[in-house]
């Protein structure tokens, strides 16, 4: 037997690239030793409903809680906490201090989710950051706000890379991008509606002596806690332990999922942890190549998430309520583009071309948004920018997941991908500066680059 084929830690030589999957991965209609084709489809649908829906719902809360700072900022937080002193918000110290621990703590967090299990791990960090969000609504000064944002960054460091890792362990390479898209779409579109929610919550301004921005943070924190408790019940484990999840798959069904993964890429079984095995992929340049792609993408998506309401208010002249509500519609187009490109990518086994097309859409939108005359044209540019940038997030996640193999390689690559994505958040927080308002030209050029 060929030495490469006999080594359990090596890829089959013919499936190194996602473009080869069509020739070497099992067809979704292939007969299984235990289940008929219809039974296989029913099992996958159950996994989709439980796994993708629950991780997406919690990601919606995660995205809302990390980006509601921009909603609170235009609802009076900047003035109340004196964040305009030394351009504290524009210089993005508050935003920046979330991303520093968010990047640093991702590798150990991906180890913990495998060791502890997703249900306990994810629900615990969600409930804990809910408490922090509620506390943020009561802060009295800049220092307290920064401290709580640091803690929030530590906790959220475990969520997104953990979910990317978990999802990639459940699906074969030719159907993973659609699932990533639905996961991200639930979080992205629902999270965008937080602007409308924030507009409603700020109407409580003055109740119990709290301003509108405090109510935004407090009540969104309460919602986060409720979602965390739902996750404690419904989040599922990795395939090898899925039979222990409440009212989910039985032992035979879980074994089918593992067989399916092993037929596709031979890494469905749990591997013993060793630090050397976990860190070995650090030397693989393609791990960092995918991470750099993600860094470029998140520089744009985080800039939009954190600063779009401020751009709409200060740059385009909309009112506070209009600015918070107008954030949502562009994400509708993003959702359509995101799933359409995912369907094409999975059906025709392509990844890189999808990234290029979406990037071109974003590059068309950014100059319209930043340099066009007239708010109608600029707002149309927001649609293209939001759609192109956000549609590329699941495309990049799928591209990377398709080209790594092994449980702990997958864990590290998920952490590095999202970690450099967090650095993209740091960059975005520094390039949109108050002194560049209302056009924010340096930020626009950085996003285009």
CATH number of the domain that 436 lies in?
1.20.1250.20
Residue whose structure tokens are 């030397």: 283
Per-residue model confidence (pLDDT) at position 442: 87
CA dihedral angle for residue 44, residue 46, residue 51, residue 52, rounded to 10 degrees: 70
Cβ partners under 8 Å of residue 379, min gap 6: 316, 326, 369
Between 31 and 307, name the one with better pLDDT.
Answer: 307
Reference 368, options 379, 354, 355, 357; nearest CA is 379
Give domain status of residue 291, yes or no.
yes
Per-residue model confidence (pLDDT) at position 385: 96
In angstroms, how far is the first alpha carbon of the chain from the final one? 49
Give domain status of residue 21, yes or no.
no
Q: 292: helix, coil or strand? A: helix
Residue 267 in tokens: 């890494």
**Confidence check: pLDDT of 186 > 90:** no
Q: How far apart are CA 94 and CA 37, in angstroms?
A: 52
What is the number of domains present in the chain?
Answer: 1
For residues 59-64, give the mean pLDDT. 84
Is the entire prediction scored with pTM above 0.85? no
Q: How far apart are CA 415 and CA 399, in angstroms?
A: 15
Residue 255 in tokens: 């074994």
The boundaries of the domain holding residue 130 are 40-267+276-448
Q: Which of 83-97, 108-122, 319-333, 423-437 has the lowest mean pLDDT?
A: 83-97
Give domain status of residue 16, yes or no.
no
Omega before 438 within 30 of 0, i.e. cis: yes
Q: 90: helix, coil or strand? A: coil
Q: 187: helix, coil or strand? A: helix
Q: Is the dihedral of CA 99, 105, 111, 112 positive or negative?
A: negative
pLDDT digits 0-9 by tens, 97-126: 888 999 999 999 999 999 999 999 999 999
Task: Check: CB of residue 414 under 8 Å from CB of residue 360.
Answer: no
Give domain status of residue 101, yes or no.
yes
Give domain status of residue 250, yes or no.
yes
Give domain status of residue 23, yes or no.
no
Reference 172, options 335, 346, 41; nearest CA is 346
Res. 20 pLDDT band, cuts 50 70 90: very low
Task: Check: CB of residue 339 under 8 Å from CB of residue 182.
Answer: yes
Between 70 and 111, name the one with better pLDDT.
Answer: 111
Q: How far apart are CA 263 and CA 286, in angstroms?
A: 24
Per-residue model confidence (pLDDT) at position 87: 61
Give domain status of residue 65, yes or no.
yes
Give domain status of residue 14, yes or no.
no
Between 90 and 307, name the one with better pLDDT.
Answer: 307
Reference 18, options 249, 348, 309, 261; nearest CA is 348
**Confidence check: pLDDT of 36 > 60:** yes
Kindly report the number of other CB atoms within 10 A of residue 79's CB atom. Answer: 12
For residues 59-88, give the mean pLDDT. 81
Residue 291 in tokens: 């991470």
């Amino acid at each position: 037997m060929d030495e490469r084929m006999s080594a359990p830690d090596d890829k089959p030589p013919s499936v190194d690239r996602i473009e080869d999957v069509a020739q070497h991965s099992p067809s979704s209609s292939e007969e299984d030793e235990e289940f008929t084709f219809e039974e296989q489809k029913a099992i996958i649908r159950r996994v989709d409903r439980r796994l993708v829906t629950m991780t997406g719902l919690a990601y919606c809360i995660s995205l809302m809680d990390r980006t509601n700072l921009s909603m609170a900022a235009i609802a009076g937080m900047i003035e109340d906490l004196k964040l305009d002193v030394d351009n504290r918000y524009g210089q993005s110290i508050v935003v920046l201090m979330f991303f520093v621990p968010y990047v640093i703590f991702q590798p150990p967090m991906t180890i913990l989710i495998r060791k502890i299990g997703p249900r306990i791990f994810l629900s615990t960090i969600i409930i804990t950051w809910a408490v922090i969000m509620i506390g943020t609504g009561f802060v009295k000064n800049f220092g307290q706000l920064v401290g709580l944002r640091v803690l929030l960054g530590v906790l959220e460091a475990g969520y997104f890379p953990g979910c990317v890792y978990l999802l990639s362990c459940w699906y074969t390479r030719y159907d993973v991008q659609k699932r990533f898209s639905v996961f991200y779409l639930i979080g992205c579109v629902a999270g965008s509606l937080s602007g409308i929610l924030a507009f409603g919550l700020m109407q409580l301004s003055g109740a119990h002596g709290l301003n509108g921005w405090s109510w935004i943070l407090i009540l969104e924190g309460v919602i986060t806690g409720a979602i965390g408790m739902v996750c404690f019940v419904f989040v599922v484990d990795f395939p090898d332990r899925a039979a222990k999840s409440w009212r989910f798959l039985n032992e035979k069904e879980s074994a089918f999922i593992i067989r399916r993964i092993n037929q596709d890429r031979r890494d469905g079984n749990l591997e013993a942890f060793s630090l050397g095995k976990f860190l070995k992929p650090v030397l693989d340049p393609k791990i960092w190549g995918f991470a750099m792609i993600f860094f470029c993408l998140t520089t744009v998506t985080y800039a939009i998430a954190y600063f779009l309401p401020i751009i709409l208010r200060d740059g385009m002249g909309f009112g506070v309520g209009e600015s918070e509500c107008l954030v949502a519609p562009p994400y509708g187009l993003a959702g359509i583009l995101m799933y359409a490109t995912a369907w094409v990518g999975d059906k025709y086994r392509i990844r890189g071309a999808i990234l290029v097309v979406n990037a071109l859409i974003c590059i068309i939108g950014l100059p319209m948004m930043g340099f066009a005359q007239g708010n109608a044209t600029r707002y149309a540019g927001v649609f293209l920018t939001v759609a192109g940038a956000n549609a590329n997030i699941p495309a990049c996640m799928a591209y990377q997941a398709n080209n790594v193999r092994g449980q702990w390689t997958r864990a590290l690559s998920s952490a590095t991908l999202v970690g450099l994505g967090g650095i993209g958040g740091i960059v975005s927080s520094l390039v949109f500066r108050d002194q560049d308002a209302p056009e924010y030209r340096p930020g626009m050029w950085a996003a285009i680059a």
